[in-house]
Amino acid sequence: MVRAPLIGVTTSVTVDRYPERAYVNAAYLLAIQQAEGIPVPLPPHLDARGRVALWGWLDGLVLTGGGDIDPARFGEPRHPTVFDLSPARDDLEIDLTRLALDQGVPLLAICRGLQVLNVALGGTLYQDIPSEPGSVINHSQKEPRHHPTHAVKVQEGTRLGAVLGTLDLEVNSFHHQAIKRLGGGLRAVALAPDGIIEGVDMPSAPGFVLGVQWHPEDLVGQDAAARNLFSALVAVAKGR
């Protein structure tokens, strides 16, 4: 009997609050299980021994949303709106991203995760969309998480489009940062109407590498495209 693939899921961490906690929104865990994978939370507090031991068992990786990446990682001073910086989380996620890319482990990067993927490959970020580059779209919506609030157009002939099963989406949006300069090997394959990069792929990568700026884990109950993202990740992980 073939076992269900184990999918690593990075966690958020509380910053400047006691007691410190590692946590992840349950929607990620439920979306992976709905796709017949088994989620394995990966907190930043794992030491080197724990990382190595767990990594050896994982068949796929999901980089999740959360606080901002330290702008020092891409050589810029901190904007006043940057929040919840966690050096430990940055270290873990950048290390795991590079491992996944080097070893062909299937990788799905979501929201902050997309930004981590970009920074790990030498890219940069807009630290605050309202300040730079500015937008008529509110990328930090106040509506409930399962409510789509803006459109995304996916480029034809891309892996992301094939996986989603559509080129035109309505997505939810909970970020104030976005990709500025693309990291090496990444390709922008989905855009919001204001030009913000909403999806990337990596044609040169040996395995499955996709990143989206929205939160599909909160849309799986109503949106086939969201379910398709997790199903594709788990299917590729199962075949490793």
DSSP, collapsed to helix, strand or coil, labels residue 80 as coil
CA distance 125 to 218: 24
CA distance 58 to 96: 11
Q: Which of 93, 139, 198, 217 is catalytic?
A: 217
Q: Which of 45, 79, 111, 146 is catalytic?
A: 111
CA distance 181 to 135: 17
- Other CB atoms within a 10 A radius of the CB of residue 188 amount to 17
111 included as an active-site residue: yes
79 included as an active-site residue: no
Q: Which of 139, 150, 175, 215 is catalytic?
A: 215
76 included as an active-site residue: no
CA distance 12 to 129: 22
Query: Alpha helices of the chain — where are they, by DSSP H?
Result: 26-34, 48-55, 87-103, 112-120, 159-164, 224-238
DSSP, collapsed to helix, strand or coil, labels residue 109 as strand
Catalytic residues: 111, 215, 217
